[in-house]
Structure 1
Amino acid sequence: MGWSYRKSIKLGPFRLNLSRGGVGHSWGNRLFRVTRTADGRRTVSVNLPGGFHWRKTTSRRS
């Protein structure tokens, strides 16, 4: 198993994610969040009370 690195910096509703693969960012709150990963994928998450959630991930841009 190799080494990995991950650091998350919160700035209000905005979050900067640092990892070995690069820099990603996300914004939102517990109910709704949009994330862009270091490799370019984009994820939209919706979390509802009672354990219901929906997540959609799109592939990176060409």
Structure 2
Amino acid sequence: MGWGFRKSVKMGPFRLNLSRSGVGHSWGNRAFRVTKTADGRRTLSVNLPGGFHWRKTLSGSRR
């Protein structure tokens, strides 16, 4: 198992995600978020109270 790096910088509803694999960004709030990862995937996330969540990959490659 190797070492990893991850840092997130918030600027209002926008978040810049820095990791060993590159730079990604996301936009939204706790309940609804759209993310573009460093490897090019776009993900839509919906989080509901009580721990329920739904996540869908919109485009890009899945691992």
Find the aligned partners of 2:53 and 2:47 in 1 and give their Cα distance: 4
Alignment correspondent of 1:5? 5
Q: CA RMSD in A?
A: 1.5
Alignment correspondent of 2:53? 53
SS in 2 for 1:39: coil
Residue 40 of structure 1 deviates from its aligned partner by: 0.4
Residues 31, 46 of structure 2: 8 Å contact kept: yes
Could you say if the C-alpha distance between residues 2 and 51 of structure 1 is closer, same or farther in structure 2, counting changes exceeding 3 Å?
Answer: closer
Q: Deviations over 1:11-41 (max 9, x none)?
A: 0110000001000000100110000000000
Deviating above 6 A after TM superposition, structure 1's stretches of 4 or more consecutive aligned residues are: none
**What runs of 5+ residues in structure 2 fail to find an aligned partner?**
none
**What runs of 5+ residues in structure 1 fail to find an aligned partner?**
none
Residue 48 of structure 1 deviates from its aligned partner by: 1.9
